[in-house]
Amino acid sequence: MERCLAGLRQAAEFVKSYRFEMTDDYLSLIVRLEALPQNQSGADKSGRWRGSRRYAESLIARATLLPRNL
């Protein structure tokens, strides 16, 4: 238990001190993504919210439990 708590304390310290670096590699990744044909003005993004929590919850809410075939 002590070791677990110490591990959690270390993780909490790490989160507090963590600072994301905007490296050149990351920025070039962003620029590459922006340059994709599907990311230009006029692109249809109607389906792009389907990973959202609200969408997942709406699917779960509409789910029907069926008896399992054994």
| Smallest separation, CB 4 to other proteins (Å) | 22
Are 16 and 10 spatial neighbours (Cβ–Cβ below 8 Å)? no
Q: Which of residues 43-62 bind other proteins (CB under 8 A)?
A: 43-58
In three-state secondary structure terms, 48 is coil
| Smallest separation, CB 39 to other proteins (Å) | 5
Q: Contact between 26 and other proteins (CB under 8 A)?
A: yes
Angle, alpha carbons 16-21-26 (nearest 5°): 140
What is the spatial distance between Cα 14 and Cα 18, in angstroms, rounded to a whole number? 6
| Interacting residues with other proteins (CB under 8 A) | 15-16, 18-20, 22, 26-27, 29-34, 36, 38-58
